[in-house]
Amino acid sequence: MLSTIIHWFCLLSFLVCGRTLLRRTQSSHPLRRSKVENVTNVQILVVSLLLLVMSLVSCVGAIFWNDGYGRADIWYIGKKDYDCHSFGFDILAFVILYHNFIPIILLATLEIAKYIQALFINWDEDMHFKGNNVYATARTSNLNEELGQLPEGK
């Protein structure tokens, strides 16, 4: 009877307590990112914000142009007043026009280059331990960047 109570008490404390060893080890750890990757992400964020600012400035310029010249001479567009929907569509149009400003393919190219560098690390004969016939294994594609950031004397 006492062992059953102790068993149920241990089971209940295990399920209720969030600080058990099992719970702590099952939580996902944040990914470590290299400094190069962090700088690249910040630069792409800055360029994206610059794209939005350019689109807003162009949209305001379009509003002033439409007010100054009007749409009377442009018969094929049709006469309509400028409203908030037109502002949203103009911003979308300018974002589409300027989207080539952000080199998204750059991220894919960097990942492909890092993957190929990891393959070369795996195939490197200088990192081959001949005693057990074991080659180096790159478990992350950022390994080459992390190795390049080590100080010279260490």
Do 38 and 76 reside in the same domain of the chain? yes
Backbone angles phi, psi at 134, to 5 degrees: -115, 130
pLDDT in tens, 46-61: 989 999 999 999 999 9
Are 94 and 123 within one domain? no
Amino acid at 59: C
The per-residue pLDDT for range 117-140, each reduced to its tens digit, is: 888 888 888 887 888 888 888 877
pLDDT tens for 15-43 read 666 555 666 666 666 666 777 778 888 98
DSSP H helices in the chain: 2-16, 21-26, 35-69, 84-98, 105-123, 143-148
Domains: count for the chain: 2
- 154 has pLDDT over 60: no
Look over the chain and give the mean of its residue pLDDT values, rounded to a whole number: 77
pTM of the model: 0.56
142 and 154 in a single domain? The answer is yes
Burial of 90 (0-12, 13-18, 19+ CB in 10 A): buried
| Residue 51, token pair as written in the block | 């794209």
* Residue 4 is assigned to a structural domain of this protein: no
Residue 91 and residue 56 share a domain: yes
- Tell me the residue range of the domain where 62 lies: 32-102
10 CB contacts (<8 Å, ≥6 apart)? Answer: none
Same domain, 48 and 71: yes
* Pair (110, 91) in one structural domain: no
Same domain, 91 and 107: no
